[in-house]
Amino acid sequence: MRIHALPTQLVNQIAAGEVVERPASVVKELVENCFDAGATQIQIDVEQGGARQIKIRDNGCGIVKDDLALALSRHATSKIASLDDLERVISMGFRGEALPSISSVARLTLISRTADAECAWQVSADGTEQNFDPQPDPHPLGTTVDVRDLFYNTPARRKFLKAEKTEFTHIESLIQKLALARFDVGFVLNHNQREVLNLKPAATQDAQEKRIAAICGSAFVENSVKIDFAASGLHLHGWVGLPTFSRSQQDMQFFYVNGRLIKDRLVAHAVKQAYQDVLYHGRHPVFVLYLELDPALVDVNAHPTKLEVRFREGRMVHDFLFQALHRSLADQRPGGTQVAQQIEIAADFSETQTSVAPLRTPLNQQTSLPLTLPEPGLDSIQQRTAPEAFGAYRYPPERANLSDVAEQIKAYGKLYPQTDRANPTQPAIESAMPPLGFALAHIHNIYILAETASGIILVDAHAAHERVTYERLKQHYLNRAIVSQPLLLPIKLQVTAAEADLAEQEHEFFTGLGFEINRSGPEAVVLRATPALLAKADVDQLVRDILADLATHGVSHKAQESLNAILATMACHSSVRAKRKLSIEEMNALLRDMEQTERIGQCNHGRPTWVALSHQDLDRFFMRGQ
């Protein structure tokens, strides 16, 4: 056949195949247009899951009469005018394809009125971009787009629509996500003339949290942390769920870049790494996060549906997200930022009670070993004691079989000299009660019961001590630098040319992790030294995984994860066991350590370490005041 131009309607139908997948796709395009029009109130009316009708009305700036025909033509828009505008997109829609694409597969009516117009004007379209005859209409300020009989002229695509309930579920989920993007806009969603969603504009933080609770559930708000970080022109704010409040699916993860909902592998990787050390296996974090940055630093034109973006400085964005989330999770300690101040005040009082343990300095200020390591290589491993450890723990022989990690402990133990120091005094007046209070009893030799200023708490002694030990092991390991162990026989690895180049470029990065890697050919590297703790690990595969991460994400935490796994094993074996009776002094010492430990809310395996019951909770149990 000879080359020929396609009919306009067919061209629009082809474009519709990229942006109009189902009724929810139509809703997304039209609601985003409402955002760009400056609307503060949007009403969405849906009939039969969107297959019969989708009607969206807003109170935005409207479209002037002479521009109505252009609005229904391809590649006509008010949002960009030059290539410079395209490289700094600040609007939600900018391609100029949505309305003509929708009108090519449905019956579309557009009604709009501007503030200075005497009346509104209405046009209808069928995708041909011809025969537009505006008619007057009594419509108020704003715009209404009425889409009927979706895919009426493309029956093959109509067959792919799911059941009415399924299609509306997609629409409802989409509106909820868009409502989280714009707290300044009110939303009303009706299905088959029944109101399903009614969200008022939310100007204050309390109102915003109420909207989040209406969409994600009140449990999310109760178990989340408000964060706000800014650095290097990047600003991250929003809510992140505590590790103990996680999901089996990734269905409650909302991430917005400059107000646009996105799904991005780089963002997902950064979030996963931030939660890696505190989340229970097989669980997924929950969050509602907003990243703001210069529009020139992010390309939103990477995908027709604009759900994917491309960061121009991907590694910087990844590191910023990781550090912000990692720090926000680490800072969640009992008493928050007031812990250090409370302890400084408490230290001024004289010792009047012997049942309170010594106070600890913050973790990053410790200069001596705050825990004891078992002596490897013995048939019955005995626990060495240190005055700063809470109690002189001696584990039962049946709990002391550490042959599987003995060599690792031996290599690591060289970093830790055992030093003595005098125990400081501890206050014992109620006005200086620390956040986790004072221990009362050791229930079933497993749980610590403590009284606090606001109620009581229960602590899983093993889980809490495991986290305390683990964090101190990590801190000391980082402070003393990673010990590298030369290999008796170097390992030659066959890699791709790109991976060999990467290994050569990132030589300092590998050296900092304790690896010595040299290039030995176009597609080969030689591994001459590894971190001492990873002497028995599969370092061949580990190096390959690190190179793969560097190639994909520009950063890798594989080595750190392997080191942390070993330190977690050591911490688990070095922690107090269940059924080991603790004294009051030992329990109080553990409570004070918990107050100064990062990520203390979860043990190394993601299990919660403590729970609290307030006075109100206790009163409710016994119906006091009712």
**From the candidate CATH numbers 2.40.420.20, 3.30.1490.20, 3.30.565.10, 3.30.360.10, the one assigned to the domain spanning 8-199:** 3.30.565.10
**CATH number of the structural domain 205-330:** 3.30.230.10
CB neighbourhood size of 437 (10 A): 21
Output the 3-class SS for 384-415. Answer: CCCCCCCCCCCCCHHHCCCCCCHHHHHHHHCC
Residue 55 identity (one-letter amino acid): K
Average pLDDT across each block of 10 residues of the chain; the chain has 626 residues. List them in order. Answer: 80 72 91 93 95 95 90 79 77 76 89 93 80 88 94 84 93 95 95 95 93 92 90 92 84 92 88 82 88 90 74 89 87 53 28 28 29 31 33 33 43 40 41 81 90 90 85 71 80 88 85 84 89 73 81 67 65 68 87 86 81 88 81
- Residue 199: strand pairing partners: 187
Relative to beta strand 186-191, strand 41-47 is parallel
Helix (H, G, I), strand (E, B) or coil at 427: coil
d(CA 340, CA 328): 17
Task: Show me where the domains of the chain are located.
Answer: 8-199, 205-330, 336-477+570-621
Q: What is the pLDDT of residue 382?
A: 30
d(CA 358, CA 341): 16
The backbone torsions φ and ψ at residue 444, rounded to the nearest 5 degrees and listed phi first, read 55, 25
The answer as to CATH 3.20.20.80 being correct for domain 336-477+570-621 is: no
- DSSP assignments along 289-353, one per residue: EEEE--GGGEE--SSTTS---EETTHHHHHHHHHHHHHHHHHT--TTGGGHHHHHHHHTTSPP--
Q: What is the pLDDT of residue 188?
A: 96
Q: What pTM did the predictor assign?
A: 0.68
Q: What is the pLDDT of residue 35?
A: 93
The 10 Å CB-count burial string (b at 16+, else e) for 289-298 is bbbebebebb
Residues in the chain: 626
**CA-CA-CA-CA dihedral for 70, 71, 76, 78, to nearest 10:** 110
Question: Which tokens in the block code for residue 559?
Answer: 């080595």
The DSSP symbol for 380 reads S
- DSSP assignments along 239-297, one per residue: EEE-TTS-BSSS-SEEEEETTEE---HHHHHHHHHHHTTTSPTT-B--EEEEEE--GGG
d(CA 460, CA 575): 12
- Residue 443: strand pairing partners: 447
Q: What is the pLDDT of residue 559?
A: 61
Expressed in angstroms, the distance from the first to the final Cα of the chain is 86
- Residue 447: strand pairing partners: 443, 460
